[in-house]
Amino acid sequence: MQSLQQGVLGAVNTPTQALLGRPLIGDGANGGPGQAGGPGGWLYGNGGNGGNGLPGQAGGNGGSAGLIGNGGAGGKGGAGAGGGNGGTGGWLVGNGGAGGMGGAAVPNINGGSAGQGGTGGNATLFGDGGAGGQGGTRFTGAHGVNPAINGIAGKGANGTPDLLVNASGDVVGGNGQSGADGAFAAVGGTGGSGGLGLVFGGAGNAFGGHGGTGGVGGIGGAGGLGGDAITASGGALGGDGGNATIGIAAGGAGGAGGGGGLARSFADEAASGGSGGLAGGGGTGAAGGTGGFGGSGGNGGRSGLLFGDGGIAGIGGEGGAGGTGGHGGVGGNGGDGAGVTTGNGAIGRGGHGGPGGDGGAGGTGGNGGGTGAGGLGGLGGVLVGQAGVNGPAANGGAGGAGGSGGGLGTGGTGGTGTTHNGADGADGSIGAEGLSGQPG
C-alpha cells in the first residue's frame, strides 16, 4: 500500500518537478551548510530548514511553503555570523518558520562580533508569524597576561677605589653609578658597586662608596653592592648597598636591594658595616579585557493578513564575561647588612638589613559585556490576531575577577658586629587583590 502511494505521488510530482523545479506535494529539502532550504510543494508541503552556517557563514534561510504548509526554520549562524530567516508560510494557510539563532562571537572572525538572530518568517493569509532567532552570545574578555621579560640592561659603572698605602689620611671610595634603564620588556641594569676605601701602612679613616641604584625596567634593577672599608689604624664605615627599583611592567618583579659593604678596622677604633639597600616593589598586574556585546535578537514574523498572531521576537544574546586580571609582581628582597671586624674590643656595629619590597597589586578584572537588544514582535492579523511580544534583553556579562596580589619581598639580614648586630630589615607587604570588573 505504501509503495502504491509513493508511486502515485511520484507520478504526480515528476512532471511539475521537471517543469517548474518544485514538487506538487511534499516537503522541501533541508539546505546544506549555510544554504537555503528547498520550497514546499505547490499544493501542500512545508519548506525545508536552512542549513547551519560554518564559522563566519550565515545560516541558510528557511524554504517557503506552497499553498498550504509552514515555512522552514532558518539555520543557525556559524561563529560570528547571523542566523537565517524563517521561510514564508503557505499562501492560504500556514505559519512562518522560526528565525535561526545568531552565531556566537569568536575572536578573529567578523571582528569578534556576535551574530544577529534571524527574522521569523511571515504568514500570508491565515497563520502565525515565525519567532525571531536569539542573538548570539559573546566571548569572554581576554585574561590579563603579564608580558614576558627579555633582555637585561647594562650594569652601572663601579665606584673608583680610594687607596692610601704607607701614608696617613682619610679615604673615600667612589659611589657606584646607576644601572642602565631597560624597556618595559627588559630587566633594569644592576647598579654599580661602591668603590673600596683602603688605608694601609698609615693612620686614617676609611669609607666605602655606596652602591648605585638599579636601573628602571620591566623587572626592577638590583641595587649595587656597597664598597668595603678597610683601615689599619682608624675608623671604618662600609658603604650602603644601592636601592633597587620597582618593576614597571605589568606584574614585573621588584629588584633586590644591594648588600652593604664590609668594615674592618684593625685598631681600637669604631667601625660600622654598610646597610642593605631598599628593595623594589612589584608592578601591578595587567588588567583583564572587557567582555563583548551579545548579538541582537531577530524580529518576529508578520502574521497572516486576515488571521493570526505575530511572531515572538528573539531575545538578545548574553554579553561576555570580563577577563580575569593578571597577578601582581613579587616584591624584591632587601639587601643584607654587612658584618664588621674591629681590634682590641672596639665598638663594631653590623649593618642593618634593607626592607623587602611590597608585592604589586593584582590587575583589575575586565568589565562584562553588554547584552544584545531584543527583537521586535511581528504584526498581528487585521481581522483576528495579536502582535508578537518584543524580545527581552539577556543578561550582561559578569565582571572579571581581580588578579591576585604579588608576594612580599623578604627583608635583608642584619650584619654581624663585634659588639652590636645589625637589625634585620622588615618584610614587605603582600600585594592587594585587584578590583573586580563591573557587570555588563
Closest CA to 47 of 68, 25, 24, 70: 70
Quote the pLDDT of residue 4: 61
Asked, for residue 94, whether it belongs to a domain, the answer is no
Quote the pLDDT of residue 243: 93
Closest CA to 282 of 224, 212, 218: 218
CA 222 to chain centre: 29
| Residue 172 host element (H or E) | strand 171-172
Q: Is the pLDDT of residue 40 over 80?
A: yes
Quote the pLDDT of residue 48: 94
Greatest Cα pair distance, the chain, in angstroms, is 128
| Of 14-23, 130-139, 301-310, highest mean pLDDT | 130-139
What is d(CA 277, CA 76) in angstroms, rounded to the nearest whole number?
64
The residue ranking higher by pLDDT, 9 or 359, is 359
Q: Is the pLDDT of residue 5 over 70?
A: no
Q: Is the pLDDT of residue 293 over 80?
A: no
**Residue 381 pLDDT class (50, 70, 90 cuts):** low
Share of the chain above pLDDT 70, in %: 95
Quote the pLDDT of residue 77: 93
Summarize pLDDT for 230-269 with one digit per residue, the tens. Answer: 998 888 888 898 998 888 888 888 889 888 888 888 877 7
Asked, for residue 125, whether it belongs to a domain, the answer is no
The residue ranking higher by pLDDT, 136 or 383, is 136
Asked, for residue 38, whether it belongs to a domain, the answer is no
Quote the pLDDT of residue 335: 80
Quote the pLDDT of residue 76: 95
The residue ranking higher by pLDDT, 425 or 95, is 95
Quote the pLDDT of residue 211: 92
What is d(CA 387, CA 372) in angstroms, rounded to the nearest whole number?
22
CA 180, 182, 188, 189 dihedral sign is negative
Q: Taking residues 300-317, what's their average pLDDT?
A: 75
The values of phi and psi at residue 297, to 5°, are -75, 155
Q: Is the pLDDT of residue 8 over 70?
A: no
Q: What is the dihedral of CA 155, 157, 162, 165, to 10 degrees?
A: 70
**For all residues of the chain together, what is the average pLDDT?**
84
Quote the pLDDT of residue 169: 84
C-alpha cell at 36: 537555503
CA 17, 21, 27, 33 dihedral sign is positive
Say which amino acid occupies 400: G
Asked, for residue 257, whether it belongs to a domain, the answer is yes
Summarize pLDDT for 46-70 with one digit per residue, the tens. Answer: 999 999 999 999 999 999 998 999 9
Q: Taking residues 332-351, what's their average pLDDT?
A: 80
Q: Is the pLDDT of residue 378 over 60?
A: yes
DSSP label of 230: E
DSSP label of 111: G
Quote the pLDDT of residue 99: 94
Asked, for residue 16, whether it belongs to a domain, the answer is no
The order of strands in the sheet holding 348-349 is 171-172, 206-207, 236-237, 271-272, 348-349
What is d(CA 105, CA 113) in angstroms, rounded to the nearest whole number?
5
Asked, for residue 49, whether it belongs to a domain, the answer is no
Q: Is the pLDDT of residue 200 over 60?
A: yes
Q: Is the pLDDT of residue 339 over 80?
A: no
Summarize pLDDT for 64-102 with one digit per residue, the tens. Answer: 998 999 999 999 999 889 999 999 998 989 999 999 999
Q: Is the pLDDT of residue 282 over 60?
A: yes
What is d(CA 387, CA 370) in angstroms, rounded to the nearest whole number?
27
Q: Is the pLDDT of residue 1 over 60?
A: no
**Residue 7 pLDDT class (50, 70, 90 cuts):** low
Asked, for residue 303, whether it belongs to a domain, the answer is no
What is d(CA 209, CA 213) in angstroms, rounded to the nearest whole number?
13
Of 226-235, 255-264, 274-283, 424-433, the one with minimum mean pLDDT is 274-283
What is d(CA 402, CA 398) in angstroms, rounded to the nearest whole number?
12
- The domain of 211 spans 155-290+327-366+401-440
Tell me if the pTM is above 0.75. no
Contact 394, 372 (CB under 8 A): yes
Q: Angle 427-428-432 (CA atoms, 0-180°, nearest 5)?
A: 145
| Residue 198 host element (H or E) | strand 197-200
Q: Tell me whether residue 151 is exposed, middle or buried, using C-beta atoms within 10 angstroms of its C-beta: 0 to 12, 13 to 18, 19 or more.
A: exposed
Quote the pLDDT of residue 260: 86
Quote the pLDDT of residue 385: 67
Quote the pLDDT of residue 359: 87
Domain count, the chain: 1
Q: Taking residues 273-297, what's their average pLDDT?
A: 80
Closest CA to 184 of 213, 156, 216: 216
Share of the chain above pLDDT 90, in %: 24
Number of H helices, E strands in the chain: 1, 10
Quote the pLDDT of residue 32: 94
Asked, for residue 264, whether it belongs to a domain, the answer is yes
Q: Is the pLDDT of residue 192 over 80?
A: yes
